């Protein structure tokens, strides 16, 4: 049986959704496949997110990820929006969650790390839920 495909969606696909994709691959690849995408593209992943993910987890998101549009996603089973309210795109999925996360872009490292740790906790919870 194939693993469920989880898509982490945010408008720009440059920060929170990229962190969620990276942590999903790092912490939950045994249970689900992780993807991220957005409705508008930034030219790169947020440099603070890249730096802190390297520092905290040894993950270099720039080597394995890039900003993508939702049209590049495979058919997904679980849609997770990051908290972009009315701008969040609609995609067909069997399960939906909105994580309601503040965008830490432009914030001090302490705030970034708080959001990263919140995403880590939510990834672990999703891992447990989907593992059955």
CATH number at residue 111: 3.40.50.2300
Residue 86 has pLDDT above 60, yes or no: no
- Given this model, what pLDDT does residue 90 score? 72
Per-residue confidence (pLDDT) for residue 83, from 0 to 100? 83
- Domains contained in the chain, number: 1
Question: Which residue, chain included where needed, has tokens 């830490």?
Answer: 104
Structure tokens at 58: 């040894």
Q: How high is the pLDDT of residue 132?
A: 84
**Stretch (H or E) spanning 35:** strand 33-37
Give tens-digit pLDDT for 37-69. 998 889 999 999 999 999 999 999 999 999 999
How confident is the model at residue 11, as a pLDDT? Answer: 86
Long-range CB contacts (< 8 A, 24+ apart) of 54-58?
56/113, 56/116, 57/22, 57/23, 57/26
- Residue 95 parent element (H or E): strand 95-98
Contact 80, 6 (CB under 8 A): yes
Supply the residues annotated as catalytic.
10, 84, 88
Q: What's the chain's average pLDDT?
A: 93
Query: Which range marks the domain in which residue 116 is found?
Result: 5-131
């Amino acid at each position: 049986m194939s693993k469920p495909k989880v898509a982490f969606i945010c408008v720009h696909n440059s920060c929170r959704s990229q962190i969620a994709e990276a942590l999903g691959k790092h912490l939950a690849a045994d249970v689900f496949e992780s993807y991220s995408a957005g409705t508008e593209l930034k030219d790169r992943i947020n440099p603070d997110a890249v730096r802190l993910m390297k520092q905290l987890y040894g993950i270099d998101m720039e080597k394995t990820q890039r900003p993508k549009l939702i049209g590049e996603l495979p058919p997904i089973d679980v849609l997770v929006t990051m908290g972009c309210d009315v701008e969040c795109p609609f995609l067909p999925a069997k399960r939906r969650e909105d994580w309601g996360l503040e965008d830490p872009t432009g914030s001090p490292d302490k705030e970034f790390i708080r959001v990263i740790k919140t995403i880590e906790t939510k990834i672990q919870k999703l891992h447990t839920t989907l593992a059955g």
